[in-house]
C-alpha cells in the first residue's frame, strides 16, 4: 500500500471541510477516488459484502417527521456494517454532488446555507469514518477493541568484554529517558540468557555491542578479530524474538560481520558520536518517543 494514502485521504477531508458551495465537489470526488485505491479493495469488499445502501437510506427516510432537521440515519448496531454503509454512501455522494447537498441538508441540517450541511456531514460522518477506517485497515481488518499496553521504556543491552562501550551506551540511553537493561547484570537465579529475556518480556528493543573481544578464523587461516560467540548467539535470538527492525548492532573496531545477519541495522560506534543519532533514529522508528534535544545534548 502506498505509504501516504491516508495522508492524502486526510488532505481531501481537510479540503472538503474548508470548501465552499462552488468547490466542495472536487475534494468529495477526490476522497471517493482515494478510497477506491487498489490496495484497499479487499478491505472494502469485506466491509460492504453484507450491506444494502438503498435499504438503509429508505429506512432512514422514514425517521423524518414534519419538523425540518428531524430526520436521522438508521445505523445498524454492527460497527463493521456501519463503516461499509458509510463507504458506499461516500461513493454515492461523490457520483452525484447535487444529491450530496440534498442528503446533507436533510440529515445534517445546519441552517439555510447549503454548504453548512456539507460541513456538518463532513464533521459528523466523514471524519469519524476516516479515523475508524484507517484503524480497520492498519489492524488488518479487525474491528475488535483491545487494551494496548503502554510502550516500554526499557532497552536491552548485550555486550562482550568492552565495559567502556557498554557503559557509554547505557548512559546515553538513560540521558534520553530510556532504561538500559544489561542482561549480564541481571541476577542469574539459575536462569539462562533466554530465561532472563522472558523475565523482561516488556522490553521491545535490543542494542547489541559487537566489539573485537575474540579472535577466530577458518582452519589453517590467519586469526582475525571477532565478537564473542555468545554475543552473536544472543544477536540471532533477538532478531528472531523482536524482529530485525527492533535490533540495532553497534560495531566498534575492525571485525567481520557474519553474513547470516544480513538485514540487521549496523552502526559504527565511532568517536564522533554519530552512532547516538543513528541509534536514536532506530529507536524512534521502532515506536519510542525520542526527545531530539536530549539526543543532541547527550
Reported as a pLDDT band with limits 50, 70 and 90, residue 81 is very high
Residue 44 has pLDDT above 90, yes or no: yes
Kindly provide the residue ranges of all beta strands, DSSP E only, lying in the chain, ordered along the sequence. 154-158, 179-182, 206-210, 214-216, 224-226, 247-251, 265-268
Please say which residue of 138, 169, 200 terminates a domain.
Answer: 138
pLDDT digits (tens, 9 = 90+) for 194-236: 677 677 667 889 999 988 877 877 788 888 777 788 888 888 8
Give yes or no for a contact between 17 and 119, defined as CB atoms under 8 angstroms apart. yes
Mean pLDDT for 258-277 is: 73
> Same structural domain for residues 129 and 166?
no
Number of domains in the chain: 2
> Same structural domain for residues 113 and 167?
no
Q: Find the range with the poorest average confidence among 9-13, 69-73, 269-273.
A: 269-273
* Residue 198 CB partners (closer than 8 Å, separation 6+): none
Residue 31 has pLDDT above 70, yes or no: yes
> Same structural domain for residues 116 and 225?
no
Would residue 144 count as lying in a domain?
Answer: no
pLDDT digits (tens, 9 = 90+) for 98-153: 999 999 999 998 888 999 999 999 999 999 999 999 999 988 766 565 555 566 78
Residue 276 has pLDDT above 50, yes or no: yes
Instruction: Give the residue from 119, 157, 296 showing the smallest Cα distance to 235.
Output: 157
Please, how many CA atoms are within 13 Å of residue 151, restricted to the half-sphere of its CB? 10
Reported as a pLDDT band with limits 50, 70 and 90, residue 2 is very low
> Same structural domain for residues 29 and 122?
yes
Give yes or no for a contact between 88 and 47, defined as CB atoms under 8 angstroms apart. no
Instruction: Give the residue from 52, 123, 132 showing the smallest Cα distance to 92.
Output: 52
> Same structural domain for residues 116 and 160?
no
> Same structural domain for residues 109 and 164?
no
pLDDT at residue number 272: 76
Give yes or no for a contact between 267 and 251, defined as CB atoms under 8 angstroms apart. yes
CATH number of the domain at 274, please: 3.40.50.10140
Mean pLDDT for 76-102 is: 95
pLDDT at residue number 212: 84
> Same structural domain for residues 118 and 164?
no
> Same structural domain for residues 96 and 62?
yes
> Same structural domain for residues 45 and 119?
yes
Give yes or no for a contact between 217 and 167, defined as CB atoms under 8 angstroms apart. no
pLDDT at residue number 101: 95
- Please state, in angstroms and rounded to a whole number, the distance separating the CA atoms of residues 298 and 293: 9
Give yes or no for a contact between 166 and 269, defined as CB atoms under 8 angstroms apart. no
Please say which residue of 113, 138, 163 terminates a domain.
Answer: 138
Distances (CA, A) of 141 to 8, 135, 144, 211: 21, 9, 9, 44
- Give the DSSP per-residue string, 121-174: HIIIIIHHHHHHHHHHHHTTS------PPPPP-EEEEE--S-HHHHHHHHHHHH
How much is the pTM?
0.51
> Same structural domain for residues 122 and 159?
no
Would residue 270 count as lying in a domain?
Answer: yes
Q: Find the range with the poorest average confidence among 65-69, 132-136, 160-164, 208-212.
A: 65-69
> Same structural domain for residues 65 and 102?
yes
Residue 263 has pLDDT above 60, yes or no: no
> Same structural domain for residues 119 and 39?
yes
Would residue 143 count as lying in a domain?
Answer: no
Residue 35 has pLDDT above 90, yes or no: yes
Domain range for 90 is 5-138
Please say which residue of 138, 169, 191 terminates a domain.
Answer: 138
pLDDT at residue number 270: 76
Would residue 146 count as lying in a domain?
Answer: no
Amino acid at each position: 500500500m502506498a505509504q501516504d494514502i491516508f495522508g492524502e485521504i486526510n488532505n481531501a477531508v481537510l479540503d472538503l471541510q474548508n470548501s465552499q458551495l462552488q468547490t466542495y465537489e472536487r475534494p468529495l470526488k477526490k476522497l471517493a477516488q482515494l478510497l477506491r485505491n487498489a490496495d484497499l479493495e479487499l478491505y472494502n469488499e469485506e466491509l460492504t459484502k453484507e450491506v444494502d445502501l438503498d435499504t438503509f437510506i429508505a429506512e432512514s427516510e422514514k425517521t423524518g417527521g414534519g419538523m425540518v432537521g428531524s430526520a436521522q440515519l438508521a445505523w445498524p448496531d454492527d460497527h463493521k456494517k456501519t463503516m461499509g454503509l458509510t463507504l458506499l454512501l461516500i461513493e454515492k455522494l461523490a457520483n452525484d454532488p447535487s444529491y450530496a447537498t440534498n442528503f446533507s441538508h436533510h440529515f445534517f441540517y445546519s441552517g439555510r446555507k447549503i454548504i453548512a450541511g456539507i460541513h456538518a456531514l463532513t464533521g459528523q460522518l466523514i471524519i469519524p469514518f476516516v479515523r475508524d477506517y484507517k484503524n480497520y485497515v492498519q489492524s488488518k481488518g479487525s474491528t475488535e477493541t483491545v487494551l494496548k499496553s503502554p510502550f516500554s521504556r526499557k532497552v536491552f543491552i548485550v555486550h562482550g568484554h568492552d565495559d567502556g562501550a557498554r557503559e557509554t551506551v547505557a548512559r546515553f540511553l538513560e540521558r534520553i529517558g530510556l532504561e538500559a537493561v544489561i542482561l549480564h547484570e541481571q541476577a542469574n537465579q539459575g536462569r539462562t540468557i533466554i530465561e532472563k529475556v522472558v523475565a523482561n518480556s516488556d522490553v521491545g528493543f535490543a542494542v547489541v555491542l559487537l566489539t573485537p573481544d575474540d579472535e577466530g578464523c577458518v582452519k589453517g587461516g590467519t586469526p582475525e578479530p571477532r565478537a564473542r560467540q555468545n554475543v552473536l548467539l544472543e544477536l540471532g535470538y533477538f532478531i528472531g524474538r523482536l524482529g530485525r527492525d527492533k535490533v540495532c548492532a553497534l560495531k566498534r573496531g575492525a571485525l567481520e560481520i557474519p553474513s547470516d545477519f544480513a538485514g540487521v541495522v549496523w552502526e559504527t560506534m565511532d568517536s564522533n558520536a554519530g552512532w547516538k543519532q543513528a541509534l536514536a533514529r532506530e529507536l524512534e522508528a521502532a515506536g519510542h518517543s525520542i526527545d531530539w534535544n536530549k539526543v543532541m545534548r547527550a
